[in-house]
Amino acid sequence: MAAANLMNVSNIDFLLILGRAVFLVFSFALAATTFTAWRRATRAQTEQVLCQGRLLLDELAGIRSTLQATAHSVTQLAERIEHPTTLAAPSAGASPGYQIAIRLARGGASSEELICGCGLTRAEAELVRRLHGPSRPELRQVS
């Protein structure tokens, strides 16, 4: 009976050792699987962060170019303010041909008369006639 008892003890010890070995192998496999999944997730997150970083750099480059263009425009405006160019008033500095054309247009002259008499182009003559010519009564009735 002592031998049977000894055999039962050694079978129980053997089963406990075997159970521990199976548990250790299972734990190692689980840890390896978890570590691999963790590495994949970390790699995916790293790629995502790098992609977002590239997008931010592209946006920053666009903002930089816009800022440079704005700075250039501001510089040009500052130069215009520091050194203004004097523009002559249209009535005071207009050439004598325009003054004569305005008077003729007020008197009812046609575009052809303004072209021949004052040396204006057709577009200029039409403009002077429209701006300074007598207003037509039929247009006032329609409007």
Structural element, H or E, at residue 87: none
Do 121 and 108 belong together in one domain? Answer: yes
- Structural tokens at position 76: 């040009």
Do 21 and 60 belong together in one domain? Answer: yes
How many structural domains are present in the chain? 2
pLDDT of residue 55: 96
Do 100 and 71 belong together in one domain? Answer: no
Could you say which of 59, 85, 111 is where a domain stops?
Answer: 85
Do 17 and 80 belong together in one domain? Answer: yes
Neighbours of 118 (CB within 10 A): 22
How far is the C-alpha of 119 from the C-alpha of 72, rounded, in Å?
Answer: 41
Which domain does 37 fall in, by range? 1-85
- Contact between residue 81 and residue 102 where contact means Cβ atoms under 8 Å apart: no
Do 51 and 106 belong together in one domain? Answer: no
Do 20 and 71 belong together in one domain? Answer: yes
Neighbours of 73 (CB within 10 A): 10
pLDDT of residue 116: 87
- Structural tokens at position 15: 């089963």
pLDDT truncated to tens, each residue of the chain (143 aa)? 555 565 676 889 999 999 999 999 999 999 999 999 999 999 999 999 999 999 999 999 999 999 999 999 999 999 888 887 654 445 555 577 788 889 899 988 888 888 888 888 999 999 999 998 887 654 444 44
Do 17 and 54 belong together in one domain? Answer: yes
- Structural tokens at position 130: 């429209």
Structural element, H or E, at residue 56: helix 2-82
Do 48 and 68 belong together in one domain? Answer: yes
Do 73 and 10 belong together in one domain? Answer: yes
Could you say which of 66, 85, 104 is where a domain stops?
Answer: 85
How many Å separate Cα 130 from the centre of its chain? 43
Could you say which of 47, 63, 85 is where a domain stops?
Answer: 85
Give how far Cα 12 sits from Cα of 2, 5, 6, Å.
Answer: 15, 11, 10
